[in-house]
Amino acid sequence: MSTRSVPRPMSKDRISRTPKLEELVRDIVSNQPLVDVHTHLCPPTFGSPLAGRRGTADPDGLLLWGIDELITYHYLVCEVFRVVPASQLPYAEYWAMSKSEQADHIWKHLFLDRSPISEACRGVVTTLELLGLDPGERSLEGYRRWFAEQSIDEHIDRVMELGGVTRITMTNDVFDDNERRRWLQDPSIGDDPRFTAVLRFDMLVRDWPSAAQKLNDWGYAATSELTDKSIEAARKFLRDWITRTKSVYCAVSLPPDFRYGGPDDKSDTAVVLRQVVMPVLEEAGLPFAMMIGSIKLLNPELQLAGDMTGMSDIMSLARLCLEFPRNRFLVTMLARENQQELCVLARKFGNLMIFGCWWWLNNPSLIEEITRMRVELLGTTFIPQHSDARVLEQLVYKWDHSRAIIGKVLADKYSDLADAGWVASEAEIRRDIREILDSHARSMTEPRI
């Protein structure tokens, strides 16, 4: 049998590598509005340590913004201890400094005494630049004055516009006393339409006896034994808080040694997942987000900056997807080594949506590698990124940097496809990019009335 002889088009005839197609794809990616599925931001109703124009400073407030917060981001705290080790500046002395003293220290050592080439440092520079400030000033004072003049509500709008973010997903830790108190005082604090709430309850899944103690203090009859009564109390607790916060999904972060052994697993973690979390979320129709692979406080002296990454067990996640087909899982894993198997697992389970390049994966080289692999294995069916912003203005750089890489990867993929003989139209490319950047994120964070 003879094979069809189709002459390969000369490269000049191919639409594939034309700068026009690549530019079009990059441009669409840069401008696609999107929902950010995981941040640590919240509306001004949660209070803010920085007052801004017309505002009142709340030292324990949960909305972080401004130059001192940007510079003292925990990613930069560990970086500064690499150049000024604890033998020269003991941890306790650093933590005893005021926020602006800490920022001055980091600014001096990471921005002035050497160039800010790490990703977290470069992020500060991009943020200043895109906010219209001069990143070359080499002094924090001018920036401090500029931020102090902003009125927070309008500033949030501006930052969201610069990041192309239409809705911000919060992280609302029900075991954090500060946050819990604010919700109890005023349940309407979550009603800002720019934000949606997410109930976060690591302790419930990771440390049942401590969670039970807290639940008991709060009027839910739970004991350290996972009896039927305790299980019912925990279910009620979750239902009450999902309703109070109008959460759009629930979330936990889990360590690399997290294991789920299937229906016969009698560990506290397994029982809480099987008998409390899964049924309550199924009945509420909410996804369950699992962020797997962080070792908390490996170096406790560094506080929030002291966490570590480690390889996790993909089969535990596989067992959950298999056993709970009516639950939706929204998952990210921290170790680079887990990324391929996570993609392959998502091919096996339609109820598994993978998202983001989390924490130390949120670096250009790794975002590129991971995004390429995800497109190759999953087509358009994943959420490429989330910001994990802890400081409002980080939305600007995190999305700017990520969009550039996602755009580059997708430009390559549409070019390869054109090379293969399928030239996607502009409308088709727009449709796909909307799905990749926004639609999945939107369906995982549907606001609740």
Contacting positions for ligand RAT (CB under 6 A)? 40, 171, 253, 291, 304, 359, 388, 390
Task: Say whether residue 173 binds Zn ion (CB under 5 A).
Answer: no
Judged by CB under 5 A, the number of residues near Zn ion is: 1
Q: State the binding partner of 112 from Zn ion, ligand RAT, none, CB within 5 to 8 A by kind.
A: none
Smaller CB separation from ligand RAT, 252 or 272: 252
State the minimum distance, in angstroms, from the CB of residue 307 to Zn ion.
11
Query: Shortest distance, CB of residue 294 to ligand RAT, whole angstroms?
Result: 6
Min CB(74)–ligand RAT separation in Å: 6
**Could you tell me the smallest distance in angstroms from the CB atom of residue 389 to ligand RAT?**
8
Residues 6+ apart with CB under 8 A from 60: 47, 49, 178
Judged by CB, which is closer to ligand RAT: 68, or 307?
A: 307
Q: Decide whether 73 or 220 has the Cβ nearer to ligand RAT.
A: 73
Least Å distance, CB 356 to ligand RAT, is 9
Q: Which helix (H) or strand (E) holds 283?
A: helix 278-284
Q: Which of these, 331, 329, 339, 337, lies nearest to 310 by C-alpha position?
A: 337
Rg of the Cα atoms in the chain: 23
Question: In this complex, which beta carbon is closest to ligand RAT, that of residue 230 or of residue 253?
Answer: 253
Task: Read off φ and ψ for residue 331, nearest 5 degrees.
Answer: -130, 140
CB of 38 to Zn ion, least distance (A): 6
Given the complex with ligand RAT, which of 405 and 424 has the nearer CB atom? 405
Half-sphere exposure (Cβ direction) of 142: Cα atoms closer than 13 Å = 9
Query: Minimum distance from CB of 251 to ligand RAT (Å)?
Result: 8
3-state SS class at 139: coil
393 binds, among Zn ion, ligand RAT, none (CB under 5 to 8 A by kind): none
CA 318, 321, 322 angle in degrees (round to 5)? 85
| Interactions with Zn ion, residue window 381-440 (CB under 5 A) | 388
Which CB, 171 or 230, lies closer to ligand RAT? 171
DSSP for 7-30 reads PPPPGGG-STT-HHHHHHHHHHHH
**C-alpha torsion 331→183→178→72, nearest 10:** 60
Q: Which does 403 bind (CB under 5 to 8 A by kind): Zn ion, ligand RAT, none?
A: none
Q: Give CA–CA dist 116/110, Å, rounded.
A: 6
The residue of the chain with the least Cβ separation from Zn ion equals 388
Residue 253's binding partner out of Zn ion, ligand RAT, none, with CB under 5 to 8 Å set by partner kind: ligand RAT
Q: How many CB atoms lie within 10 A of CB 283?
A: 12
If we measure between CA atoms, which residue out of 346, 367, 396, 361 comes closest to residue 67?
396
Nearest distance in Å: CB 93, ligand RAT = 23
Q: Name 228's Cβ contacts closer than 8 Å, sequence gap at least 6.
A: none
Give the x-and-dash track for 369-388 against Zn ion (CB under 5 A). -------------------x
Q: Which is nearer to Zn ion, 36 or 388 (CB)?
A: 388
CB of 151 to ligand RAT, least distance (A): 27
Query: In this complex, which beta carbon is closest to ligand RAT, that of residue 119 or of residue 388?
Result: 388
CB 359 → Zn ion: shortest distance, Å? 7
Q: Would you say 179 or 388 has its CB closer to ligand RAT?
A: 388
Residues with Cβ within 8 Å of 82's Cβ and at least 6 positions away in sequence, in order, are: none
The DSSP-derived string for 146-215 is HHHTS-HHHHHHHHHHHHTEEEEE--EETT-HHHHHHHHH-GGGG--TTEEEEEE-HHHHH-HHHHHHHH
Binding-residue pattern over the window 336 to 375 for Zn ion, x denoting contact by CB under 5 A: ----------------------------------------
Q: How far is the CB of 389 from Zn ion (least distance, A)?
A: 9
- Chosen from ligand RAT, Zn ion, none, partner binding at 390 (C-beta under 5 to 8 Å by type): ligand RAT
Give helix 228-245 / helix 208-217 axis angle, nearest 10°. 70
Q: How far apart are CA 124 and CA 396, in angstroms?
A: 9
Nearer to ligand RAT, 7 or 300 (CB): 300
- Pairing between strand 308-309 and 294-295? antiparallel
CA distance 229 to 38: 33
- Our CB check for ligand RAT shows the closer of 221 and 304 to be 304
**Structure token digits, residue 246:** 């109008």
Q: Which residues sit at the interface with Zn ion, rule CB under 5 A?
A: 388
